[in-house]
Amino acid sequence: MKGCTMNKVAFFDTKPYDKIYFDKLKNQYGIEIEYFESKLSPRTAVMAKDAKAVIAFVNDDIGKETISVLKDNGVEIIALRCAGYNNVDLAAAKDIMPVVRVPEYSPHAIAEHALALLLTLVRKTHKAYIRTRDSNFSLNGFVGFDLHGKTLGVIGTGKIGMAFIEICRGIGMNVIAYDPYPSQGYLEYVPLEELFARSDVISLHCPLTSETYHIVNSYSLKMMKDKVFILNTSRGALIDTEALIEGIKSGKVGGAGLDVYEEESEFFYEDLSESILKDDTLSRLIMMPNVLITSHQAFLTHEALEKIAETTLGNLRSFFDGKPLENEIAVRKKIRI
C-alpha cells in the first residue's frame, strides 16, 4: 500500500511467533508496530502512549479501567488478533473506541487440533512415545477403542464446528449437533439434553456467553454416558472445572482433551517449568492420566498466523482510512465462531 500514512500501534502479549507475519506484512499496510511482552491491563495500558491503536490477545484484560487508560493516552481503536472477545468490556468501549476482531483465521487448524487431542487420548500415543524412548515395547495399558461408529456430539456448528464434523465423518463417526441457530440442513440437530445422553464424544465449538458459561457442569454430566470423552478447544469457562474433575474421579468421564482452561490467563503462553504451579485445580488436571491439556495452541499454524496478521492489519488500515469496519464487534451482537 504505497503512499499510505504510517500509524503507530502498540502490540501487547507478544510472543516470537506473533512477529513472523506481522513483521512481514506491516509495511504493506502502513503500520509501525511497537511490541510489548506484557499483557494489556490497567497497569500496562500506559505503555501505549503515542500509539493510535493497540493490538491485543485473548487473555489481555480489556475491562473498563484499561479502556479508560487507553483513551487517556490517545488510543483510538482496539484490534483483537483473535476471534473471541469475552475479555473485553464492550459496554465500556461503546462510544469511546471501536473494537475489531479476526472472526476467522483457520477453522481447520482448530478442528484438526481437536482431533489430535481425541486420537491421542483414545490411542494413548503420547504415553507410547515416552515408553518406547526408554526401549519399553510393552503394550500393557494401551488398549483403546475405535472411533468409527461412535456418536460425536458437537455443540456449536459455526465454521470450526463444521470443520470438525467433516473430519469426524471422514473416519466414520455418527454426528449429532446442538446450536441455538441451526443452519446446516443435512445435520441432525437435537436438544442439548439429548446430545448429552447419546454422545460417546462431546466437542465444544461455541463462544462463551452467559448462556454457554459452564454448559458442562455437574447437572449436565449426570445426563451423559458413562466414560464419555469431552473436548474443549473454544473457551475454558464453558466447563465447570471442579465438576469435570469429579466426573473424571467417579469414572463418568473417560477422558478430557482441553486446549483451554477457565483460569488460564495467568499460566498459558508462559514458561513456568522452573516454578511451582500455583493453581491446585490445574495441577490436579495435569496429573490425571486420562486428561490431555495443551496451552491454547489449537490456532497455532502458519496459515492461521498469516490470516490473523492480514485481517488485524487490514482492520486497522480501514480505520485509519476512514472506511467501514467490517469486523467491528457490536454490543449485544450474537456471533457464532
- Are 196 and 113 in contact by the 8 Å Cβ rule? The answer is no
Specify if 333 maps to a domain: no
> 3-state class of 139 per DSSP?
coil
| pLDDT value of residue 265 | 80
175 and 289 in a single domain? The answer is: yes
- Domain hosting residue 253, numbered range: 107-293
Q: Are residues 254 and 184 in the same domain?
A: yes
Q: Is residue 134 part of a domain?
A: yes
Nine cell digits for residue 191: 436438544
Task: Give the three-class secondary structure for 278.
Answer: coil
Predicted confidence at residue 334, as pLDDT, reads: 43
3-state secondary structure of 222: helix
pLDDT of residue 127: 96
Long-range contacts of residues 67-72, Cβ cutoff 8 Å, at least 24 apart: 67/92, 67/93, 67/96, 67/97, 68/92, 69/42, 69/45, 70/45, 70/97, 71/96, 71/97
Catalytic residues: 235, 264, 296
Residue 205: inside a domain: yes
Tell whether 334 is covered by a domain. Answer: no
70 and 116: one domain?
Answer: no
Question: Grid coordinates representing 218?
Answer: 455437574
Whether residue 329 is contained in a domain is answered as no
Say if residue 179 is in the same domain as residue 235.
Answer: yes
**Entry pTM:** 0.89
Claim to verify: residue 285 and residue 152 sit in the same structural domain: yes
Total domains present in the chain? 2
- At 179, which CATH number? 3.40.50.720
Domain assignment present for residue 337? The answer is: no
Query: Would you give per-residue pLDDT tens digits along the chain (337 residues)?
Result: 444 568 999 999 999 999 999 999 999 999 999 999 999 999 999 999 999 999 999 889 999 999 999 999 999 999 999 988 989 999 999 989 999 999 989 999 999 999 999 999 999 999 999 999 999 999 999 999 999 999 999 999 999 999 999 999 999 999 999 999 997 778 999 999 999 999 999 999 998 999 999 999 999 999 999 999 999 999 999 999 999 999 999 999 999 999 999 999 889 988 899 999 999 999 999 999 999 999 999 999 999 999 999 999 999 999 999 999 999 998 644 444 4
Which pLDDT value is given to residue 183? Answer: 79
Q: In this structure, is residue 331 part of a structural domain?
A: no
175 & 75 share domain: no
Domain identity same for 284 and 248: yes
